Amino acid sequence: MPRPTQVLAEHPHADGVATVLRGPGGELWLAHDRADGAGTLLRDGAAILGLPGATIAGGPAPAGAVVAEVVDGRGRRHRCPADRGAWVVVLDEAAEGHLPPVCFRDADGALVVPRLAQTWARAPVEDAVTPCPACRGAPAWDVVTPSDDSRGSHEVRGEWRPTPVAVCRRCGHEEDVGAWYGAVDPEGHEDEQGLQRLKAEWAAKRAMEAAEVVAAATVPVMAADDVVLEVEGWGTRDGVLSSIRTTDAARSVVVEVELEEHAWDRVEDVARQGIEQLVEDDEGEEALPDVPSAAAMSLSANARRRREREAAWRASVRPATLVVDGEPQPCVVAELGNAFCAAVRGEGMLLTVWGRAPHGLGDLRLRSTASAWRPRA
């Protein structure tokens, strides 16, 4: 494969220079370092790459744009050059799998909207109440359905269809539109009895599966001295058990052990990400219609996650100790109000604990069952 050589955008970081390059066929590549000469092919737009404690984001820029404005997880705005048809930025936050909001401006500061194919179906989201996170404009969204799988695809009754996106009419920022499910009767009304029956059946099946997992577990199953913890969930990788999560009935304490270490995540990033799962949105839910559209619900849910991410960055992070199997283990804990999340690395393991008062980190005494916790040497 010919190596891309034309540099369109670059941003230095501790380990090199993040770069967007153009290949001989006009294709764009996002690379950790310009010396790589290639990287991730930007086939369908922007992408992200992970660094230890940082995120590289970059992609194509529309004609006429000179600046890209990128919004990070704390709500801060980063301006980077986009006058050569591409942009790239390095954000000092761990990659979490989502693209940051971005909009483009010309030399006069006016918004430049990326063009989408005119053949793509487009309709206004009449019930949207969520402002655009990229341009900060009032709600003005369209739901756009591509004619290809460039934005993903989903299955509907055995048929694969292009996944729609919500697009801001002012700046062109795109938001995912998820699939929403619920129990309904043939008349289209919510079926409360059916929903409760499904929940009961699921809980019974889950309890049986949990007992089987614990019986054959090769991952430590954590218990606590003063809290009754039960298995809440588990994960597998290549058919092999890789993580187990336990919690109490009120979910005031959640403990997870993973066999595979996070290659890029620092323990402080893991601790801060745990706070995101605990913080309550001070702003509350947005006032959606009684029967909102899927696009409106997705926009509201995405906005809530952004607010929770911003709140998590307000958490204080400090070194601490966590007692596991009678031995104090050095860890990092993030705290916000009465919420806490601690992370500690063992030998080939990552232990994460998050919860709320009255259970504080100093009060917890964890012990491993099924398989022993292995402290890092």
Strands 221-224 and 240-247: unpaired
pLDDT in tens, 187-220: 555 567 777 888 888 888 888 888 888 788 888 8
Listed in order, strand segments (DSSP E) in 158-249 are: 159-162, 165-168, 174-176, 221-224, 230-237, 240-247
Residue 181 vs residues 178, 190, 257, 297, 326: alpha-carbon distances, Å = 10, 11, 30, 12, 45
Please identify which residue in the block is written with the tokens 């190596």: 3
Residue type for position 273: Q
pTM greater than the 0.85 cutoff: no
CA distance 245 to 247: 7
What separation in angstroms does the CA of 122 have from each of 144, 145, 222? 5, 7, 50
Q: Tens of pLDDT along 15-39? A: 899 999 998 888 999 999 988 766 8
pLDDT in tens, 65-76: 999 999 999 999
